[in-house]
């Protein structure tokens, strides 16, 4: 299969597929003309990577997960550890975003939003209490 066919089959853009090849996540064969010749297994790997990335796994996590997927002697505990670490990072990010939301809600509530130049939002951004 050529890159266009693989793109349609995997749902990934050709640019992403080339990137994954550049970083050795997939290694398609090369035809006599030098063009990439993707196999059904390559499509499967790319689909796996696309789904992994859509869940927010990093490239290195994807590399680890793909390696574990291909290792029939893997321990599911190793897979769970990668996913659990990622889940912990997501939970931390959610906490950070909720703190940001709370701060912005407070600032928006404190701002009168009228014709006066006084603005608690700008004062906060400037690190001052006076404007």
Q: Is residue 131 over pLDDT 90?
A: no
In tens, the pLDDT along 66-96 reads 999 999 999 999 999 999 999 999 999 999 9
Reply yes or no on whether the pLDDT at 130 is more than 70.
Answer: no
* pTM of the complete model: 0.80
d(CA 9, CA 53): 17
Give the burial class of 21: count Cβ atoms within 10 A of its Cβ; 0-12 exposed, 13-18 middle, 19 or more buried: middle
């Amino acid at each position: 299969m050529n890159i266009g066919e693989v793109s349609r089959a995997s749902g990934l853009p050709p640019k992403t597929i080339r990137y994954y090849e550049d970083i050795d996540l997939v290694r398609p064969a090369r035809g006599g003309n030098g063009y990439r010749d993707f196999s059904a297994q390559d499509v499967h790997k790319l689909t796996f990577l696309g789904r992994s990335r859509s869940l927010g796994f990093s490239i290195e996590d994807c590399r680890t997960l793909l390696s574990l997927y291909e290792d029939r002697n893997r321990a599911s505990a190793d897979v769970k550890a990668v996913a659990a670490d990622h889940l912990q990072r997501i939970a931390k990010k959610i906490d950070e975003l909720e703190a940001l939301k709370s701060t912005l809600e407070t600032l928006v509530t404190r701002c009168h939003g009228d014709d006066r130049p006084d603005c608690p939002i700008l004062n906060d951004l400037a690190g001052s209490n006076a404007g």
